[in-house]
A and B are shown apart, each in its own frame.
Chain A
Amino acid sequence: MENGYMNKWLKINLSTKEISDFNFPEEILRKFIGGKGIATHFLWNYALKLEKKGINIKDMDALSPENVLVFATGPITGTRSPNSGRHHVMALKSPLTGSIGSGNSGGKWGAKLKFAGYDGIVVAGKANLPTYLTIVNGNAELHDAQEIWGMNSLDTSNWLKEKHELKRAGISCIGPAGENLVPMAVIMNEVHRAVGRTGLGAVMGSKYFKAILVEGDAKPKIAKQADFDDKVKEHVEKLKENGVTGEGLPTYGTAVLVNIINQNGLLPTKNWQTGVNENAELISGETLTDKYLINKHPCWGCVVACGRKSKVEEGPYKLAYTEGPEYESIWALGGSTNINDMGAVVRANHYCDLYGIDPISVGSSIAAAMELNEKGFIPKEDLQGMEVDFGNADAVVELTWMAAFRQGLGYWIGEGSKKMCQHYGAPDLSMEVKGLEMPAYDPRGAKGIGLNYATANRGGCHVTGYTIAAEILGDVDRFTTEGKAELTKIFQDFTSIVNSSVNCLFLTFALGLDEYAEMIGPVTGWDVDTDELLKTGERITNLERMIINKLGFSGKDDTLPKRLLEEKMPEGPSEGQTVDLETMKQEYYELRGWHDGVPSLEKLEELGLTR
């Protein structure tokens, strides 16, 4: 079939070693597209099945064999449409948050999965011994992974490529953090690209599932090739001409944001005690480019190339080669912890890649530990002689690998800031939503992103609805709460489309909903318009919400840490601000047709989500 899809999914039960193919009916594909949308659809039905078996998913352990992983691409993935090498991974439950597990990754693995002949993979059950999967030209096989259990992502990748004599294969794997069931462990691909958030690496680890190698020569077939080719050309031109995608991101990477966010006074510093960071220049994109950059590094099929190849030439953190760091990693590892040594940030980020741990969650949790220590909550014996203080670069680097290996205070850091701050008796110092550490924008300085953090289904996350593009990088008033409900809803629903297509969110700096309709139409052969797409995005957001409702989350959980609601920003351009969340939230629920964080029956009927 010529519709952009490979029209084949793989299902593996690691407990029984059963492997089978299946596919979704076209009507379902049109309703959910692919990627995040189709994975959410699968998880909803899977949740219903578990319930029928008498399993209460609210009480289910995220690390039990009952949890399931879904690796998904979309119709755009692996086509000549720009920046389409990405893929999305979901789990019914995140070990970090207890809410839905969800993450998106760059690299080339998504495209390679399609070349291997599949749109997606469902992984259920639990192996009795470490196992990995290969899919080469439509042939899926499970293998013994005992030899690579314990290896970091670089060694794992090299070993698999050599063993199977496939030097250019795509490899997704977990590092030691995933094996050690650290709840903030990631799934790495191409060594330096991560499905970063909500601890999906630990779900893999709990299944004794180490890696997936994909390679092949198949190509997705396009429904209307000539129309598609025209649009690809147009879109590439738009991306080249746009200041952000044509120049800003390629030259400086995402780290270019460090300075502008700090100049606006919302770069969270010292665990969000302030939004002004005196050292921002030293850990900025400009500094990275001047002193640490080797070259840019695009994902598969990318015409933007925000990725970085980097090095540390001298000093204690000397490193010949790594990739990144991204804006978020720099902020979490360097900004929130208030260190001024970019070399240390690069090194800590390198550990995150090698050992497979989320730099946002680990950096944020280290910063929380620093505040706990500053305020005297951590007993001396737990510190084991370490100086866990703001500004201590060594402590950041050490605690990063210690979290991956569950060593010393690293144990609590790896558990995430929520559990750690509860353990040490100061829950209000944990800067997360639904257990997911928030990223690098203090919503006291941009109110819409606060509403997004509060309402994002997977927890404190920016890429669910990146209102910063409008509030800081665009012309929308950042301090007002007016209109932010609508802004957040549109961003969230549009992002659901991007993550279901699947391609790169950064395209949206230059391409809008119109262009997404122009891409999805010719690829699939469907006559889609922007209204249908926005509805589809809304449907995906709502179905994901229905899952998290089943997991026990509702309006009470759509909130922000007390610090952001009650403590005024102490200084800088956002001085005196707090987040008036309640006003925005009620307006948002009304727009969404939700009651207290739960979709109404009318809304579900409207979206075709009732049966």
Chain B
Amino acid sequence: MRVYIKVFASLRNKYPEVNDLNPMEMHLDKGISLAELISLLDFKQEEVQIALVNGLKKSLDFKLVEEEAIISLFPPIGGG
């Protein structure tokens, strides 16, 4: 299953080239959870505060099954 990963803010310290315009393509087993994906990307679970799948917020036990899904990962952020 092919998916596209986008990381933001301090998560880019590990992946400086990955952004909205340049997502990272990954091939994953169907049914992998967001928590597993986060480990696979070598992040600690608590580093990722918000995970979106196709722009919708999902909990970390959410299982990825959709081809070509876009996964956006954020550390704790805020503003206003």
Contact = CB atoms under 8 A, between A and B. Distances in A.
Interface string B62-80: 0000000000101111111
Contacts of B77: 243-244, 248-249, 252, 256-257, 260, 473
A468 B56 CA distance: 15
A380 to B, nearest CB: 36
Instruction: State the main secondary structure of chain B at its contact with A.
Output: loop
Interface residues of B, number: 23
Nearest to A328: B80
A260 B49 contact: no
Contact of B75 (A248, A280, A506, A572): A248
Interface of A: 242-245, 247-249, 251-257, 259-260, 262-265, 280-282, 284-286, 306, 326-328, 462-463, 466, 468-469, 473, 475, 478, 505-506, 509, 572-574
A573 B49 contact: no
Contact of B80 (A245, A281, A505): A505
B78 A248 contact: yes
Given A265-B55, A574-B55, A281 B20 contact: yes
Contact of B76 (A247, A286, A306): A247
A203 to B, nearest CB: 25
A284 B21 CA distance: 12
Nearest to A473: B78
Given A242-B76, A264-B55, A463-B80, A256 B9 contact: yes
B21 A254 contact: no
Contacts of B49: 243
Given A245-B78, A280-B20, 16 more contacts: A242-B76, A243-B75, A248-B76, A249-B78, A256-B77, A259-B9, A260-B74, A263-B20, A263-B52, A263-B72, A264-B55, A281-B20, A286-B9, A473-B50, A473-B77, A573-B56
Max chain B C-beta neighbours (<10 A), residue from A262, A263, A265, A469: A263
A466 B80 contact: yes
B55 A257 contact: no
A256 B78 CA distance: 7
B45 interface: no
Contact of A259 (B20, B76, B78): B20
Contacts of B80: 254, 257, 327-328, 462-463, 466, 468-469, 505-506
Nearest to A247: B10
A608 B25 CA distance: 61
28 contacts: A243-B75, A244-B76, A244-B77, A245-B78, A247-B10, A247-B76, A248-B78, A249-B77, A251-B9, A254-B79, A254-B80, A256-B77, A259-B9, A259-B74, A260-B8, A260-B72, A263-B55, A281-B20, A285-B79, A286-B12, A286-B19, A306-B79, A328-B80, A466-B80, A473-B50, A505-B80, A506-B79, A574-B55
